Structure 1
Amino acid sequence: MPSAPQPEVISLGCRLNIAESETIRALVAGRDMVVVNSCAVTNAAVKATRVAIRRAKRDRPDAQIVVTGCAAQIDPASFAAMSEVDRVVGNADKLTSQAWQTDAPVVVSNIMQVRETAPHLAASFSAHARAFVEVQNGCDHRCTFCAIPFGRGPSRSVPAGAVVDRIAGLVDAGHREIVLTGVDLTSYGPDLPGAPTLGHLVERILHHVPKLERLRLSSLDGIEIDDRLFALLTDQARIMPHVHLSLQAGDDMILKRMKRRHSRAESVALVERLKATRPDIAIGADLIAGFPTEDAAMFANTRALIDDCHIVHPHIFPYSPRAGTPAARMPQVEPEVRRQRAALLREAGETARANWLQTLVGTSQHLLVERPGDRGHIGNFAEVSLDEHAIPGDIVRIRITGATSDRLSATREPS
């Protein structure tokens, strides 16, 4: 007999969505359903959500199509109006069993009233080599370009004990690398008793889960990296040498108009300290091209930041005006100029990345093997193609034999 249809969860956007998609997968087990877990960070992300919905309906015309995530939370009516969509579920609701036990076409709570996060803490990441653990959600800051606080709600943290227990369970289940995720990860803790920081949480994880081999942190706000967290990032071999910073721009006037809390000089100084203390650390960063009022000199400052901050994992966005945000009401840079500047940033980032990858040729590294078994990432998050298959989820010792513009090639060494 043919097997019963299985649910499919399509995860768009951030690593937090990946973590939450695993919880959704467990909540809808056994149903003929496609859940699109959407992103709203840019207009392009919202468009990608609509494309995914239409493709899901074409591929599985008999399945129930449910849309959730940030785009669904911010604008549920527009998704409910799509002929392909059966239900819309909000960002807080998607992680509760109650939302999946009703046939109501729209289940979207007021996200701004949510005060807790992650009672779900996904139990399985069988489809991923690394496991993603949500420790924080929401954001209390109001960057002028960002709509995500309206999709995620206020900042809230998961108690450290619950995080430690979940990570211990995932390690016992065979996961050798854990990624801590959140919307504003470095704001972890002030809503919890004793107001612990992210550094306190990381210390507890390392102490109480000694079998955890690799811990990786997702995007960090550099201005909130205190001395405790800095020491952990630079001293602890079990923390991967990879820091992704939410920089956004390299010009002080643009940073002020974005309502960011750091200056260009503070970003450069932070990276210089990180690299001086742990030279092998690799820097990633989010950068926006064509923010309102950005002129050629301001853009040049952001472009120069790629070299000044040794950015080898760039994540480049052309500015995307989000309805209801202050930046959408500022004088806009022409769309074509935005696109051109984003292309120039990507070109500079690709050059920096290619040069960095060349410096790794001939070195020995440890690779976390990813599906199907002939690829993976090393500690600094450089992507590697392996010359022979290994078991996904294993950590193997390799020697880097070559580099292209975007990835390394390697051969396996004896353990």
Structure 2
Amino acid sequence: MIVSKVSKYNTLNDFLKSKTFMKIALSMTGCKNNRYELDQILRWAIKNKVPVVEESEADFAIINTCTVTSIADRKSRQLVRRTRNNNSGLKTIVFGCAARAQKKVFEEITEVDVLLGSMQEVITYLESNISDMKKCDDASLITSGEAFTRSRALVQIQDGCDNYCSYCIIASARGKSKNRPQKEIINEINKHVANGFNEVVLTGINIGAYGASLTTRPDENKFAELLEAIFEQTGIKKVRAGSLGPEFFNEKWYKVMQNPRFSRHLHLSIQSGSDSVLKRMRRNYTAGQVTDVIKKLRGISPDIAITADIIVGFPGETEAEFKETVQFVKKNRLAKTHIFPYSERQNTLAAKMEQVPVKLRRERVKKLQEVADICRSEFIKSQLGKKAEVLWEHSRLSGRAEGVTENYIRVRVMGARTAGSITSEVLTTENIDTLL
């Protein structure tokens, strides 16, 4: 539903009538799922001959927002204001998680012209407003390509979540879990193959739950069956998964992940290495179960990169609980750990718990980061001298090409490489840049 002040709405009608054809700019904060949604809007624009341009030339700026933390909320609001400041003549269409979860806040932002909930609402709004406009016939203004990145394509397989973890508002912002039909997913991947993509990334809010009636029923998931169908029915060379919950792994997963077309990198949504903290978070697994998952994955591929999200300073986190998380990261030799200080979110159970002082949260982030950096360095060193397949992303003006290995180590070499191509490279101290 469009939420806009009447005065703005009238101005928008006049604004639209003054345009021969519509030009849009696209921007976002947040995750790969948000990027996928902008890719879909981009494809709609190409199909309908709507130019996608820089903000300075746009009539509308379409902004996808994130609300995973209070910092993400703030960045989303800043992006809206900065966009308008960069071009006072454009109008903004704001949507996404923050726009839904913080609706009243965004309604009060003067730089917001149209406030919508979902990607589909944005497309519906655009379609309703270009019907009376001329199509842009200037080929130089129409964006070529099917996505923002030419190296890999994002494919959404599900949306929403039913877990309601005690610290998270994404379930409220995104709604109940919705599985995309397998046939649609297969068809989209085949289109990407036809357009020259060698790798797809499966995205969503809780993709491990794909096929389950609820994300709280991990035993129902059909993620392994989806992977099997992708390998059997598409010609995509590499499949990469977005963030996965440890509770969804099963023997079917381990079997299908042995396929060499499955990238040797998995990002786990772990959140803590302390069982008591995990219980307060309402995560339905233990640290020991996560360790078992990691051991089995390394049994499949010793060189697999296991990366993870960890929250420190969760309400009530004691020094002993924090040390359990530190030991967990050390023990499991995580290739990279994304560490977040706990962020209070309104209307969550965790916000009502006893809070850890902000200063102490920051101190714990710093301590854990030191340990995580050592683990990352050890993983990168373990890959030196080994041959790896590199998916090339782009070439710099300096003459250096940049890409990533299937276990997500960034590589830089001198000389041109075709974006989206895959070549075999020996990893050395000269070409390894860092782990993403």
| CA shift in 2, pair 1:154/1:286, >3 Å | same
Identify if the C-alpha distance between structure 1 residues 167 and 390 changes in structure 2 by more than 3 Å, giving closer, same or farther.
Answer: same
Specify the alignment match of 1:217 in structure 2. Answer: 241
Per the alignment, residue 416 of structure 2 pairs with: 389
> Could you say which residue in structure 2 is the equivalent of 1:124?
146
Q: Which residue of 2 aligns with 1:18?
A: 35
Specify the alignment match of 1:205 in structure 2. Answer: 230
- Secondary structure of the residue aligned to 1:402 is coil
Partner secondary structure for residue 141 of structure 1: coil
Contact 1:250–1:264 (CA under 8 A) maintained in structure 2: yes
Q: Does 1:229 align with 2:256?
A: no
Describe the SS at the equivalent of 2:351: helix
C-alpha displacement of 1:243: 1.0
CA contact (8 A) 1:268 1:309 kept: yes
1:39 counterpart (59, 66, 84): 66
> How far apart, in 2, do the equivalents of 1:138 and 1:330 lie?
25
Once the two structures are overlaid, the 10-residue window that deviates more, 255-264 or 57-66, is 57-66
Partner residue in 1 for 2:113: 86
Question: Alignment partner for residue 7 of structure 1, among 19, 24, 31?
Answer: 24
1:319 aligns with 2:342: yes
Is contact 2:410–2:432 with CA below 8 Å preserved after alignment?
no
User: Which of 159, 163, 173 is residue 185 of structure 2 equivalent to?
Assistant: 163
Partner of 2:138: none
User: Which stretch shifts more, 123-132 or 357-366?
Assistant: 123-132
The CA deviation at 1:8 is: 1.9
Q: Give the match's secondary structure for 1:350.
A: helix
2:212 to 183, 190, 199: 190
AA in 2 matched with 1:13:
G
Alpha-carbon distance in 2 for matches of 1:238, 1:380: 12
Whether contact under 8 Å (1:19, 1:134) holds in the other structure is yes
Residues in 1 aligned to 2:360 and 2:426: alpha-carbon distance in whole angstroms: 42
Q: 1:53 aligns with which of 73, 76, 80?
A: 80
1:145 aligns with 2:172: no
Structure 1 stretch 236-245 or stretch 269-278: which is displaced more? Answer: 269-278
Match of 2:371 among 334, 348, 352: 348
Contact 2:411/2:433 (CA < 8 Å) preserved in 1?
no
Separation (CA, whole Å) in 2 of partners of 1:395 and 1:17 = 26
Identify the match of residue 172 of structure 1 among 181, 194, 201.
Answer: 194
**TM-score normalised by L of structure 2:** 0.83
In structure 2, the gaps of 5 or more residues are 1-20, 52-57, 130-144, 215-219
Counterpart amino acid of residue 83 in structure 1: T
Are the equivalent residues in 1 in contact too, given 2:61–2:92 (CA < 8 A)? yes
Whether the 8 Å CA contact 2:95–2:119 is kept in 1: the answer is no
In 2, distance between residues paired with 1:320 and 1:65? 28
Cα offset, 1:357, TM superposition: 0.9
- The one-letter amino acid paired with 1:20 is E
Count of matched residue positions in the alignment of Structure 1 and Structure 2: 382
CA deviation vs aligned residue, 1:32-81 (integer Å, no higher than 9, x gap): 21111111000000011111112111222211112111000112221121
1:357/1:403 contact within 8 Å kept: no
Report the structure number with the largest CA radius of gyration: 2
Residue 312 of structure 2 corresponds to which residue in structure 1?
A: 289
CA contact (8 A) 2:307 2:337 kept: yes
On the 8 A contact 1:353/1:405 being kept in 2, the answer is no
Aligned partners of 1:346 and 1:66: how far apart in 2?
37
Q: Indicate if the aligned counterparts of 1:350 and 1:405 stay in contact, CA closer than 8 A.
A: no
What displacement does 1:93 show? 4.2
Equivalent-residue separation in structure 1 for 2:203 and 2:409 (angstroms): 19
Q: Within 1, Cα distance between the matches of 2:91 and 2:413? A: 39
Kindly provide the amino acid, as one letter, of the partner of residue 226 in structure 1: N
What is the identity, as a one-letter code, of the residue corresponding to 1:227?
E
Q: Is the 8 A contact 2:412 2:431 kept in 1?
A: no
Q: Distance in 2 between matches of 1:295 and 1:378?
A: 38
Aligned counterparts of 2:414 and 2:23: Cα–Cα separation in 1: 34
CA apart distance, 1:126 = 4.8
Aligned to 2:297: 274
1:310, distance to aligned residue in structure 2 (A): 2.0
1:354–1:404 Cα contact (<8 Å) kept = no
8 A Cα contact 1:40 1:148, kept in partner: yes
Worse overlay, 244-253 or 344-353: 344-353
Q: Give yes or no for contact 1:7–1:25 (8 Å, CA) kept in 2.
A: no
Report % sequence identity: 30
Query: Match for 1:289: what amino acid?
Result: V
Secondary structure of the residue aligned to 1:332 is: coil
Letter in structure 2 aligned against 1:332:
Q
* C-alpha distance in structure 2 between counterparts of 1:77 and 1:93, whole Å: 21
Secondary structure of the equivalent of 2:427?
Answer: strand
Query: Given residue 225 of structure 1, which amino acid in structure 2 is its aligned partner?
Result: F
Aligned pair in 2 of structure 1 residues 321, 406: CA closer, same or farther (>3 Å)? farther
Query: 2:392·2:404 contact (CA, 8 Å) conserved in 1?
Result: yes
In the superposition, the TM-score normalised over structure 1's length comes to 0.87
Shift of 1:342: 1.4
CA displacement, residues 356-391 of structure 1 (integer Å, 9 cap, x when unaligned): 111222222111111236111101011111222211
Aligned equivalent of 2:425: 398
Contact 2:305 2:335 in 1 (8 A): yes
